[in-house]
Amino acid sequence: MDIWNEDDAAPAPDDTDHGLIARAHRVLTGLLLTVMAVEFVLLMMERQWQNAALVLVIFGIVLVPAVLKRRFSFDIPAEFQIFVVVFVFAALFLGSIRGLYDTLWWWDLVLHFSSGLLLGIFGFLIVYVMNENERVEIYFPPKFAATFAFLFAVAAGALWEIFEFFMDMSFGLQMQQPVPGDPSGLTDTMWDLIVDALGASLIALFGWWYMHKGQRSFIDALVIKFAERNKQWLRPGGLRRRR
């Protein structure tokens, strides 16, 4: 992963977020919030309290980046926000409330694969911030960054499966879906973990390849944009190139 110095010929990030992607993010977020607001009213009228509460949870998750930016000056790039908003909407609203988990057998697998990709990118971001933090003296090379990104994504997926098991055992839910021949939900859990690992391995290999070749990828673009907007988390004096 290239780590650009201020003197390098790196393209300047759009700190104002007025570009096409930022406008798309605002339109998409507004549209999804409107859809969920209408759904919330309908759910309240039908007295579906659990689903109504879930809609409020989705509202909160979607609005988290705006709260972080306003209260803590923590600015998440619009590209990453779009990915997260779409994922949360697809997983909780379409999947849980609208029942796509039951009607489309592949819906859960696609979301777990996507979560592996998303968490892998976040793993690369963690390594980048650690490399640039003045309190961390060790530099983590590309192989470590890719391995960490993979393990971080898989570990997060495993923790989610533990959470599903806890909710099923404690509250009688059915987050771990039974499949033909296996009413326990174990097969569903294992396929979720396998798909998580596939998504994580893809993003880890992709990131490592570009880092090893010294080329920039979309992961670099996201990480550098995040770093430029959150310099208080990094070493003072800008970003450094490190091999």
Contact of 176 with 141, CB cutoff 8 Å: no
* Closest alpha carbon to 15 in 229, 231, 222, 219: 229
* Residue ranges for the chain with pLDDT beneath 50: 1-17, 236-243
pLDDT in tens, 80-92: 889 989 999 999 8
HSE, side-chain direction, 13 A CA sphere, residue 239: 24
pLDDT in tens, 31-79: 999 999 999 999 999 999 988 998 999 999 888 988 888 888 888 888 8
HSE, side-chain direction, 13 A CA sphere, residue 150: 16
Average pLDDT, the chain: 83
Buried b (16+ CB within 10 A) or exposed e, 195-215: bbbebbbebbebbbebbeeee
Contact of 162 with 175, CB cutoff 8 Å: no
pLDDT score recorded for residue 237 = 43
d(CA 189, CA 191): 6
